[in-house]
Each structure stands twice: as C-alpha cells, then as structure tokens.
C-alpha cells in the first residue's frame, strides 16, 4: 500500500494531480483507493464526480458532540467508526473522505482526533491512499497519519509557488513527519519557464522529479462541470502525469 500526500500553494494543481493519480490507479486495476480531501478549499467530490454525503468536520454539528449522543449498545469507538463509514462517498474503484471546513479559528481538533484514531483501520481496507492537503499540512501532523510514502509537493511556474513548496518541505522536517520520499513537481510549465526557474529550484533544493505542461483540456472539462476522471487521455499533460505516477508506484 502506498500513501501519497499532495501539498503546495493553493491553485498550483494539487487537486488536479491528486485526482489524476486516483484515475491512474483505477486504470491500472490498483483500486480500491482511499481518497482523503483534507483541503477545505478543494472539492474532490467535484473533480471525482461524486456527491459527498457529510464531511468529517460537520459530524459534530450533526448531533455528535458527546457521549450522550451515542446510541445504547454501542461503544464510542463503534459509533465513531459507523459515522466515518457514513461520511465515505463511494465511487467506482475509490472512496472519498472529505474533512470539510475547520471548526473555527483554524482548528480541526475534532476531525483530526477522529482521523488520528481511525485512519489506520480505515486505510487497511484499501490498496492505496491519496491525500489532498492544504499548504499547512494540518492533517499530516505526526500523530494524525501513518507513514506517508511520498510527499508530493506541487508548484506552478512562479516564484511564490516555489517558495511555498520549499516551506512545505521545511515544515515536514520541522514536524518530523514520517515521510518516505519527498518529490517536487513543477506544473503548468513550458520548457522556457522551467529553464528560467531552474536556478531557483536548485537554490531552494527542491527535489524536482517532473515538469508537467499546461493542458487546455482541463479548462474544458471544468467548465463543462465534468469529472477529471473523464479527462481525455493522451494529452501531453496526462502522459507526463502518467510517467510521474509510473515512477512513484513502480518504486513502492
């Protein structure tokens, strides 16, 4: 089983790349995949084309605040597990767990506590786990998740994205996250922009493993409100992403 966490500045392509990784794995017969949408600004339900019943964060508002809400005959753990199952959106070849919005003041205490306690059990039912994170790595804190095999940091072809990527990698070190490999991906780059950014990528010591081009097809799929699972294959972007995933999953 491979656990991949995608991180980086907002708008750089994390959710897109995470969604394509799901599609890649399903296409290779490597399902079922557990997808964890841990970025309150993302919507993997949309990119994967499924309805999200409830988010983990909203479970508290759904009348699940304390022990008194637990039905008779159930232990607290059994009840929480039951609720977590309820929050899983089922797709073909994957299930999606959506963390949802923070509980005020950026606190994910409740959702994180649940994930901390039940993630390992939940993940055991899947072949791979793909987690779409916010830049702060909030959900990746050492206690929340199991080993992350690959921390995939994404940037667009811009200086702010690169700086944010370097910061994410620093943060992962500071938090002493249990990470197997760190990988950096430059998204929406042309050979020219990639070459121009090369010195900065080296200066920041970003572990560049792939450069992905702009894909006009992404915009079309998005405006049409379709899922990224329907993105036509064969574009240079989809091919480059597939080579990246070949490398990631072959090495596991």
What DSSP string describes the chain? -EEEEEEESTTSSHHHHHHHHHHHHHHTT---EEEEEE-TT--HHHHTT------TGGGTTTT-SSGGGSPTT--HHHHHHHHHHHHEEE-SSEEEEE--S-SSTT--HHHHHHHHHHHHHHHTT-SEEEEEE-TT-GGGSTTTSS-EEEEEEEEESSHHHHHHHHHHHHHHHHTT--EEEEEEEEES--HHHHHHHHHHHHHTT--EEEE----HHHHHHHHTT--GGGS-TTSHHHHHHHHHHHHHHHT-
* Contacting Mg ion within 41-60 (CB under 5 A): 42
Question: Which of Mg ion, ligand ADP, none interacts with 98 (beta carbon under 5 to 8 A by kind)?
Answer: none
- Among the listed ranges 8-16, 153-161, 192-200, 235-243, the one in contact with Mg ion (CB under 5 A) is 8-16
Question: Which of Mg ion, ligand ADP, none interacts with 214 (beta carbon under 5 to 8 A by kind)?
Answer: ligand ADP
Residues forming contacts to ligand ADP in the complex (CB under 6 A) are 10-16, 42, 187-188, 212, 214-215, 218, 222, 237
CB of 4 vs Mg ion, minimal distance in Å:
14
Paired strand residues for 72? none
Nearer to ligand ADP, 37 or 114 (CB): 37
CB of 42 vs Mg ion, minimal distance in Å:
3
Nearer to ligand ADP, 13 or 100 (CB): 13
Question: Which of ligand ADP, Mg ion, none interacts with 144 (beta carbon under 5 to 8 A by kind)?
Answer: none
Nearer to Mg ion, 39 or 95 (CB): 39
Nearer to ligand ADP, 15 or 84 (CB): 15
CB of 180 vs ligand ADP, minimal distance in Å:
22
Which residue ranges make up the site for Mg ion (CB under 5 A)? 14-15, 39, 42
């Amino acid at each position: 089983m491979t656990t991949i966490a995608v991180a980086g500045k907002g708008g750089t392509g994390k959710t897109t790349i995470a969604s394509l990784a799901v599609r890649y794995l399903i296409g290779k017969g490597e399902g079922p995949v557990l997808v964890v949408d841990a970025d309150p600004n993302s919507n993997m339900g949309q990119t994967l084309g499924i309805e999200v019943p409830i988010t983990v964060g909203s479970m508290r508002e759904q009348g699940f605040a304390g022990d008194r809400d637990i039905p008779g005959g159930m232990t607290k753990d059994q009840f929480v597990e039951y609720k977590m199952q309820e929050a899983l959106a089922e797709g073909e070849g994957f299930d999606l767990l959506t963390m949802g919005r923070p509980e005020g003041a950026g606190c994910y205490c409740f959702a994180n506590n649940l994930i901390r306690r039940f993630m390992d059990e939940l993940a055991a039912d899947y072949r791979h786990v793909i987690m779409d994170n916010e830049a702060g790595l909030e959900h990746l804190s050492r206690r929340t998740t199991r080993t992350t095999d690959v921390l995939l940091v994404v940037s667009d072809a811009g200086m702010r994205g690169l700086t944010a990527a370097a910061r994410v990698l620093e943060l992962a070190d500071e938090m002493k996250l249990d990470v197997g490999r760190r990988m950096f991906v430059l998204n929406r780059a042309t050979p020219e922009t990639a070459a121009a950014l090369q010195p900065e990528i080296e200066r920041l010591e970003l572990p560049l493993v792939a450069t992905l081009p702009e894909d006009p097809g992404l915009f079309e799929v998005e405006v049409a409100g379709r899922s990224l699972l329907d993105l036509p294959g064969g574009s240079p972007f989809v091919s480059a992403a597939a080579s990246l995933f070949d490398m990631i999953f072959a090495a596991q």
